């Protein structure tokens, strides 16, 4: 049943075999045995792709639920003590994953030599259930799905900043509207497109900027800002180190950008495994009540909690 679920999810005997550590021939053999036992054809085979038959589609949901229950039961028995072991599949945005989560995950894993963390960094909003992640970290972009449980970990504050060389050459914007005359480095995952929103003492302003450079990756935009290419729309967790060493300078700090949250997502259909539950607890202790990036920036009067 577990093999069938993986083949259905990945639409490939070979990919399912790699995921499960089995040969393609053995995967095919198990599927044939399952079809013989049920006396029904579950999969259409072609040279390019594997797809579900109507019977396979009907069988997939209860089969997936049974596999998840069996896996959860095994995890509970195997991890009833303090020792954590086995794979722990995590997905996170590339900016947060590389700047903060990788370090935290290493420290979390050190006391558990049997733990096998797999950190997949990707700025795409991947479905954690479809892609088989035990835990997904999101910066905003929370899906409206009853299939996922959500735990807020920390506030995620936006900030505008630029290199000293850029500001010396083009000047410091004094109002949000002044950004229209500046080169702006735009994060393409912002939900309002190139409309940047500002708030101050109950006043709201929306400025549609002319993006000089756009990327779906915050690290790419920071590299461009450090080269003096323009004013970057960033987050305090990503900008912190550059703001502290002066290679980037905050602008329009008397205005607030929309507040997002760093959140942990996991399947709601089952209780989180001990590995997932303890990692979430570890991250909460790391990032609350004030995340370390905001605590550090408080020393230079940047936005803090």
pLDDT tens, residue by residue, 243-291: 999 999 999 999 999 888 899 998 776 677 889 999 999 999 999 889 9
Q: Specify whether the CB–CB gap between 271 and 149 falls below 8 A.
A: no
Specify the domain boundaries for CATH 3.40.190.10 within the chain: 86-155+260-300, 158-251
Alpha carbon distance, N-terminus to C-terminus of the chain = 48
For position 180, what pLDDT does the model report? 93
For position 207, what pLDDT does the model report? 92
Does 182 score more than 90 pLDDT? Answer: yes
232: nearest Cα among 243, 221, 219: 221
How much is the average pLDDT of 130-139?
86
Residue 279: burial class (beta carbons within 10 Å; 0-12, 13-18, 19+): buried
For position 153, what pLDDT does the model report? 92
Considering only the top CATH level, what class is 86-155+260-300? alpha beta
Does 198 score more than 90 pLDDT? Answer: yes
Instruction: Please tell me whether residue 99 adopts helix, strand or coil conformation.
Output: helix
For position 303, what pLDDT does the model report? 41
Residue 105: burial class (beta carbons within 10 Å; 0-12, 13-18, 19+): buried
Does 305 score more than 60 pLDDT? Answer: no
pLDDT 10s digits, 88-110: 999 999 889 998 999 999 999 99
Runs of H (alpha helix) within the chain: 2-10, 13-20, 24-38, 54-78, 94-96, 102-109, 164-170, 218-226, 236-245, 274-287, 292-297
How much is the average pLDDT of 54-81?
77
Does 156 score more than 80 pLDDT? Answer: yes
Sign of CA dihedral 19, 24, 25, 27: positive
Does 123 score more than 50 pLDDT? Answer: yes
Show the CA angle centred on residue 32, arms to residues 28 and 38, nearest 5°.
Answer: 145
Name the least confident of 40-44, 67-71, 175-179: 67-71
- CATH number for the region 158-251 comes to 3.40.190.10
- For domain 2-78, which architecture applies? Orthogonal Bundle (1.10)
More confident residue, 58 or 305: 58
Total length of the chain? 305
pLDDT 10s digits, 9-63: 888 888 888 878 788 889 899 999 989 988 999 998 877 788 999 999 999 888 8
Q: What percent of the chain has pLDDT over 70?
A: 90
For position 253, what pLDDT does the model report? 92
How much is the average pLDDT of 221-238?
94
Show the CA angle centred on residue 287, arms to residues 283 and 288, nearest 5°.
Answer: 110
Structure tokens at 10: 């990945």
How much is the average pLDDT of 160-176?
95
231: nearest Cα among 294, 277, 166: 166
How much is the average pLDDT of 168-175?
95
């Amino acid at each position: 049943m577990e093999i069938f679920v993986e083949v259905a999810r990945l639409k490939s005997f070979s990919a399912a075999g790699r995921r499960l550590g089995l040969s393609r021939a053995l995967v095919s053999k198990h599927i044939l045995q399952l079809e013989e036992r049920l006396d029904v054809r579950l999969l259409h085979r072609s040279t390019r792709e594997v797809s579900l038959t109507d019977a396979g589609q009907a069988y997939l949901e209860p089969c997936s639920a049974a596999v998840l229950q069996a896996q959860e039961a095994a995890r509970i028995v195997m991890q009833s003590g303090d020792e954590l072991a086995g794979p722990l599949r995590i997905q996170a945005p590339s900016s947060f994953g590389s700047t903060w989560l990788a370090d935290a995950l290493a420290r979390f894993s050190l006391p558990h030599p049997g733990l096998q963390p797999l950190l997949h960094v990707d700025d795409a909003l991947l479905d954690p259930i479809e892609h088989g992640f035990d835990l997904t970290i999101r910066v905003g972009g929370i899906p409206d799905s009853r299939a996922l449980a959500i735990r807020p970990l920390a506030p995620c504050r936006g900030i505008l900043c630029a290199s000293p060389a850029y500001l010396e050459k083009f000047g410091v914007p004094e109002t949000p509207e002044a950004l229209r005359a500046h080169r702006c480095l735009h994060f393409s995952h912002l939900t309002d497109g190139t409309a940047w929103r500002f708030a101050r003492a109950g006043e709201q302003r929306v400025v549609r900027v002319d993006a000089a450079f756009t990327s779906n990756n915050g690290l790419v935009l920071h590299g461009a800002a450090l080269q003096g290419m323009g004013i970057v729309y960033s987050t305090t967790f990503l900008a912190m180190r550059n703001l502290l060493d002066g290679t980037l300078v905050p602008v329009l700090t008397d205005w607030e950008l929309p507040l997002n949250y760093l959140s942990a997502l996991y399947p709601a259909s089952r209780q989180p495994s001990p590995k997932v539950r303890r990692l979430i607890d570890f991250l909460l202790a790391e990032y609350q009540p004030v995340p370390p990036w905001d605590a550090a920036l408080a020393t230079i009067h940047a936005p803090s909690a």
